[in-house]
Amino acid sequence: MSENQPKICDECNSKIVGQSITFKNKTYHEDCFNKKFICSVCNKPITDGKVITSESGRLFHTGCFKCEGCSKMISGSEGYAERDSKIYCKDCGYKLHQEDEEKNSVQGETEICSVCGEKIIGKVLSALDCSFHFDCFRCKKCDKPFEEINFQLEDGYPYHPECFNSEFGKKCAGCNKLITGNYLNALDKEWHNECFVCGGCKKPIRGSFFDKQGQPYCEGCGKSYK
């Protein structure tokens, strides 16, 4: 069997034997995960372990994460806007932003940039419940402005999606590709669910396994490993 010490569930504080689910650096029994994570749209448990978390911290089934404007499905890696507790795709979010700009222009409102503190004359970028000059709203990592309203947050700072992935993204130990959703944590590594396979027969591992030189082996292959 794996020589790793049993993990502790962050929800019930008991030992985890067998497969676990890791989400946002916390590990859960599958049952504990399903009880804790409820979709904000349909109010049903997210039982498949695939969770989309919005900028405000709300949770969604992947199938419930849709644009309020056009009903388009939005993947977790796409740009989107969250406004008044509603989710909008990038195109519909931009249209709302343009409508706000036109409304502000008609009403003669003066916005103050939240970065430089100066008045904004002309186009206003509205994000994170604040107003910015387009040139002042910049990525925390590369310090370049955003050409469109498409960013990800970390500790309150905006990042270009590619900068966010470079800075915080996890890579799968099986395929070495970026992990953007739910993943497994085993052998002190992160894995896509579909990449956690036996090093011998290449079949998916769903239960206990052997640790052979840092690679997982199913019980059958592990016992015959030389």
Give domain status of residue 191, yes or no: yes
* Tokens 């925390």, located at residue: 140
pLDDT tens-digit profile of 111-132?
889 999 888 887 888 888 888 8
Structural domain that includes position 189: 178-223
- Band the pLDDT of 77: cuts 50, 70, 90: low
Report which secondary-structure segment, H or E, holds 216. strand 215-217
Joined together, the tokens standing for residue 185 give 């944590």
| Residues 6+ positions from 141 with CB-CB distance below 8 Å | 159, 160, 163, 164, 166, 167
Comparing C-alpha atoms, which of 129, 132, 135, 104 is closest to residue 119? 132
**CA-CA-CA-CA torsion sign (13, 41, 156, 171):** positive
Give domain status of residue 200, yes or no: yes
pLDDT tens-digit profile of 149-172?
788 888 888 888 888 887 887 888
For residue 47, pLDDT beyond 50: yes
pLDDT at 142: 92
Give domain status of residue 214, yes or no: yes
Distances (CA, A) of 37 to 1, 25, 59: 30, 15, 7
Give the integer Cα–Cα distance in Å for 178 and 56: 23
Report which secondary-structure segment, H or E, holds 132. strand 130-132
Give domain status of residue 82, yes or no: no
pLDDT tens-digit profile of 207-220?
888 888 888 999 88
User: What is the DSSP code (8-state) at residue 179?
Assistant: E
Give domain status of residue 207, yes or no: yes
Give domain status of residue 212, yes or no: yes
Give the integer Cα–Cα distance in Å for 165 and 46: 25
Domain count across the chain: 1
For residue 37, pLDDT beyond 60: yes
pLDDT at 2: 45
Query: Which CATH number is 204's domain given?
Result: 2.10.110.10
For residue 103, pLDDT beyond 70: no
Helix (H, G, I), strand (E, B) or coil at 104: helix
pLDDT, mean over the chain: 82
Single pTM value for the model? 0.38
Give domain status of residue 120, yes or no: no
